[in-house]
Structure 1
Amino acid sequence: MDISGIAAAASNLAQYKTASDVQLAVFKKAVDISAQNSLQLIQAATQSLPNNPPNLGNTIDVFA
């Protein structure tokens, strides 16, 4: 193998590693955003709604 072939292979390998590193960083950021959104949904779902008045639902009008 000649020197130019080795240099080209090294250059291609470096470009592949850089592209791989960028893809991994984007994936990690997407996972972080998804985790934040999930946490916000869980927090919103667990917030209690205002309670109904205590007299609501105690009687049924059966003569209507």
Structure 2
Amino acid sequence: MDVSSIAAAASANSMARVQQQVSLVVLKQALDLQEQSALQLLEALPAPAPSPVGSVGGVIDTYA
């Protein structure tokens, strides 16, 4: 095997690792952003109105 081909293979392997690490960081950032967006949407939901007593769900807390 040629020394230059070994060096090229090592360089390609190193570059692949760096690209994989960058992809993982970007994925984690995207997941964090989605989590924040979902939490904001959940916080924006109004509280459900209580059911009148005697109607379906009036005795059992269906939102707990």
Structure 2 length normalisation: TM-score?
Answer: 0.69
| Larger RCO (CA under 8 A, 6+ residues apart) | 2
Structure 1 length normalisation: TM-score?
Answer: 0.69
| Equivalences for residues 1-64 of structure 1 within 5 A | 3-48=2-47
Query: Runs in 1 of length 4+ with deviation above 6 angstroms?
Result: none
Q: Which has the larger radius of gyration?
A: 1
CA distance in 2, matches of 1:47, 1:36: 19
Partner of 1:53: none
Structure 2 spans left out of the alignment, 5+ residues: 48-64
CA distance in 1, matches of 2:4, 2:46: 63
Structure 1 spans left out of the alignment, 5+ residues: 49-64
Q: Tell me the percent identity.
A: 15
